[in-house]
Amino acid sequence: MAILQECPVCQNKQSVKNKKCKCGTDLDSKKKQGKIKYWIQYRLPGGKQRKEFVRDPNNIKDRGSYDDAVAAHGKRVSQKKEGRIMDMLPEAKTTFNELAAWYIKLTSIQELKYYKDLKNNLNSFNQVFGESLINEIVAEDLKEYQLKRKKEGYADSYIDKHIGATRTMLSRAMDNDRVGGDALTPFRLVKRLLKNNMANARKRILSQEEFQLLLHHLPRHLKPILATGYYTGMRLDEVLSLTWGKLDLKKQLISLQAADTKDKEARVVPVSTELLEHLKEIPPRAA
């Protein structure tokens, strides 16, 4: 176990004994200015090494002092001796709902053009896993989630977005030391449905950024068409032949008859909250 200091210029984490960083920064001077961040480093059972950012215990948003680092280091030493360190890691105490509440309040996230879609994707995932502790989720749980959503009629691409948004959130949380790298493991083990289950799988799908950019430049009458294809995964012919008689906006469902589908099988397609907003914007005369 060790206490490390982070250079405020190059972000290199190194021994607190170093007075000068390899990049030339005077670390002693930065300490006096209160610009040094501290980390503690230790090994988890099994040998994996972990670095943990030290925060001010009185203000979780601020960096902690060297004394805070010493206290945090001592706490982890005691926990390791008692065999309790795994229970004290952030992901062992944080639910997906709690992490999402932190994530969607980040200014950089709220400024994203696809913020509303991202939030809805996380909400869809958290309808099932919101109250689960992050370290409780295993790969099989995510595979079961995929099957559950497919049975409910959701498109493969839309299910992929739910899991992808959560994976991105966990990656951001890991960068901010709110969860460890192990929290991402189940999400890395689960394959995308769109790529794995389609014989003629596309080489790629539109990212949320690309979708929003394309939507922005389309004329008004084409936006519902793009949104329907994007959110449902319906084939182009199915989207273009869609009529109001097949739509139930109150129940948020699209009912396709056997004659409407390529495989000649009737099916019901859920209308997401995002898609519903686009459909409601169609001028009444278009009905």
Res 286: pLDDT:
44
Q: Is the dihedral of CA 154, 160, 163, 164 positive or negative?
A: negative
Written as tens digits, the pLDDT of the chain (287 aa) is 799 999 998 988 999 999 999 999 999 999 999 899 999 888 766 666 777 788 777 765 578 899 989 998 888 888 777 666 555 566 667 899 999 999 999 998 998 888 888 999 999 999 999 999 888 888 999 999 999 998 888 888 889 999 999 999 998 888 777 887 678 888 988 988 876 444 444 555 677 778 888 888 888 889 899 999 888 888 888 898 888 889 988 888 999 888 888 777 788 888 888 888 888 888 765 44
Res 14: pLDDT:
92
Domain boundaries, the chain: 2-88, 96-197, 218-286
Radius of gyration in angstroms for the set of CA atoms belonging to the chain, rounded to a whole number: 24
Place of tokens 């009912």: 255
DSSP the chain: -EEEEE-TTT--EEETT-SB-TTS-BHHHHHHTT--EEEEEEE-TTS-EEEEE-EETTEEEEEP-HHHHHHHHHHHHHHHHHT-GGGGSGGGT-BHHHHHHHHTT-HHHHTSTTHHHHHHHHHHHHHHHTTSBGGG--HHHHHHHHHHHHHTT--HHHHHHHHHHHHHHHHHHHHTTSS-GGGGHHHHHSPPHHHHH-TT--S----HHHHHHHHHHS-GGGHHHHHHHHHH---HHHHHT--GGGEETTTTEEEE-GGGSTTS--EEEE--HHHHHHHHTS-GGG-
Query: Which amino acid type is present at position 125?
Result: F
Distance, in Å, from the CA atom of 114 to the CA atom of 131, rounded to the nearest integer, reads 25
Res 173: pLDDT:
87
Query: Which amino acid type is present at position 236?
Result: L
Res 29: pLDDT:
92
Res 87: pLDDT:
54
Q: Please name the residues in contact with 116: beta carbons below 8 A apart, sequence gap of 6 or more.
A: 274
Res 235: pLDDT:
86
Q: Which CATH class is domain 218-286?
A: mainly alpha
Distance, in Å, from the CA atom of 238 to the CA atom of 236, rounded to the nearest integer, reads 5
Res 125: pLDDT:
94
Res 129: pLDDT:
94
Q: Which CATH class is domain 96-197?
A: mainly alpha
Q: What are phi and psi of 256, to 5 degrees?
A: -105, 130
Res 207: pLDDT:
75
Distance, in Å, from the CA atom of 145 to the CA atom of 128, rounded to the nearest integer, reads 8
The two domains 96-197 and 218-286 share their CATH topology (first three levels equal) = no
pTM over the 0.75 mark: no
Question: Cβ–Cβ contacts within 10 Å for residue 129, how many?
Answer: 19
